[in-house]
Amino acid sequence: MREQIAGPSKTSSDVQRVSELKLLPITDRREISGKASVKEKTGMSIESAIAIKETVGLTWSQLRTQRKFLKEFGLNLPNEARQRRRGKQLIAKYINVESKEFNVEGEIKSKPHATIRNTQNYLLNLLDTYQQNNRHNPRR
C-alpha cells in the first residue's frame, strides 16, 4: 500500500514513513521507538557543553569520560575539537595567550602565558552575562 502512495523508490517510502510517524503524538513515537530498541538521542550546543565543563570545573580528560557516560543515555556532546575552537573564539576578545619561556625546576620550558587585555571590560561583560542568566555566583 505504501509503495502505491509514495512510489517505488526507497527515498519516497522513507519520506512516507517519517510523515506517518510525525502524525503520532510524541508519547506514541517514544513507545514505538522503545519497542523497536531505538535509543532517543539528544544533542547539545557547543556553548552549553562548554558551560557545563566550566561550571563543574572539569578538565578535558574528565569531560571525555563524561561524554562516554552521557552517550550511553542518549545525550551527545559536541566533539572536543569544536568545543576547544569555540572556547578560544569566546575568550579571544578579552584574553591574550602567548607562549613564553619559564624556568621550571631548573629547566627552561615553553609554556602558555595568559593575560587579560582589558580587565574592566572583561569583568563588566562577565557581570552582565551573569545578570542576564540570573547567576550571581558562577561557582554555586
Question: What are the pLDDT digits (tens) for 25-66?
Answer: 888 888 887 787 776 677 888 888 888 888 888 899 999 998
Residue 37: which region, alpha, beta or left (left: phi > 0; alpha: psi -120 to 50)? left
Looking at the structure, do residues 56 and 88 belong to the same domain, yes or no?
yes
In angstroms, the CA 71 to CA 17 distance is 27
Number of domains within the chain:
3
Looking at the structure, do residues 35 and 63 belong to the same domain, yes or no?
no
Q: Vertex 43, ends 58 and 36: CA angle to 5°?
A: 125
pTM for the predicted model, two decimal places = 0.49
Looking at the structure, do residues 111 and 137 belong to the same domain, yes or no?
yes
User: Residue 80: what pLDDT?
Assistant: 92
Task: For residue 70, count other CB atoms closer than 10 A to its CB.
Answer: 17
Task: Output the CA torsion 86→91→97→102 (10° steps).
Answer: -100
Confidence of residue 1 (pLDDT cuts 50, 70, 90): low
Looking at the structure, do residues 11 and 32 belong to the same domain, yes or no?
yes
Confidence of residue 88 (pLDDT cuts 50, 70, 90): confident
Looking at the structure, do residues 82 and 98 belong to the same domain, yes or no?
no
pLDDT for 130 beyond 80: no
Looking at the structure, do residues 29 and 46 belong to the same domain, yes or no?
no
79, 65 Cβ separation under 8 angstroms: no
pLDDT for 100 beyond 90: yes
Q: Which residues span the domain enclosing 133?
A: 93-140
Q: Please give the grid coordinates belonging to residue 112.
A: 602558555
Looking at the structure, do residues 121 and 107 belong to the same domain, yes or no?
yes
Looking at the structure, do residues 131 and 103 belong to the same domain, yes or no?
yes
Confidence of residue 108 (pLDDT cuts 50, 70, 90): very high
pLDDT for 140 beyond 60: no
pLDDT for 111 beyond 70: yes
Residue entry with cell 558551560: 51
Looking at the structure, do residues 106 and 71 belong to the same domain, yes or no?
no
Looking at the structure, do residues 81 and 54 belong to the same domain, yes or no?
yes
Q: Which of 34, 45, 43, 48 is nearest to 75 (CA)?
A: 43
94, 126 Cβ separation under 8 angstroms: no
